[in-house]
Chains A and B, each alone.
Chain A
Amino acid sequence: AQTVTQSQPEMSVQEAETVTLSCTYDTSENNYYLFWYKQPPSRQMILVIRQEAYKQQNATENRFSVNFQKAAKSFSLKISDSQLGDTAMYFCAFAPLQGGSEKLVFGKGTKLTVNP
């Protein structure tokens, strides 16, 4: 079974600094997608960034970037120039493409607090 592990239940960072959230996953597949979702206190789940496994280049979206290490099955999220609005739960998710399934498997999340 595919699993996603986020080993940091909580993290904190000072405003304007950089923070990295860790994620590892377990799969025997070669083709899949990986995502990071943000869930602020409003409860809305917001897609932050996605990575296709067959692309070696790490995805980047403004202040958010990933470090995708396929061999190590690692997919960390780096937030640069942290802002107070980045305070949220962050979920790593894995999408196996086996059999055409579209299921997303989520990690348990990391609670990030950005301090002023």
Chain B
Amino acid sequence: DAGVIQSPRHEVTEMGQEVTLRCKPISGHNSLFWYRQTMMRGLELLIYFNNNVPIDDSGMPEDRFSAKMPNASFSTLKIQPSEPRDSAVYFCASSLTGGWGGYTFGSGTRLTVV
């Protein structure tokens, strides 16, 4: 298995532009998570899906952030418009519900908004 695949690995964009981060979970995993990592706040859960349905989006910072999971093998996290304070590493992770073997993380996307 190729693991959780995220793209792009790095993204540099100008303030005000739209940014879309992509994630392909492990085949057969039915839970998907988006986390944001910063030095100040550590790892924060933004949103998670179970069977493609958003279960908890309480961590989404504001309306500029949106996430979708149109099918079991693909999810996106969109920021529109982007701001410098959105600069962070964004991780996607997947797991099998109830297995509690822990998450499998992707390699993350480092986003820099200038």
Interface residues of A (CB under 8 A from B): 33, 35, 37, 42-47, 50, 52, 91, 95, 101-109
Contact = CB atoms under 8 A, between A and B. Distances in A.
Given A47-B102, A50-B102, A103 B107 contact: no
Contacts of A47: 101-104
Interface of B: 31, 33, 42-43, 45, 48, 50, 55-56, 89, 91, 93, 95, 97, 100-105, 107-108, 110
Residue of A101, A104, A105 with most partner-chain B CB within 10 A: A104
A102 B30 CA distance: 11
B92 to A, nearest CB: 11
Majority SS at the chain B contact face: strand
B3 to A, nearest CB: 9
Contacts of B31: 102
8 contacts: A33-B102, A37-B102, A43-B110, A45-B91, A45-B93, A50-B100, A104-B103, A105-B45
B108 A43 contact: yes
Nearest to A46: B105
B108 A103 contact: no
A109 to B, nearest CB: 7
Give 5 closest A-B pairs by Cβ, nearest first: A45-B105, A106-B43, A47-B102, A108-B42, A33-B100
Contact of B45 (A35, A37, A104): A104
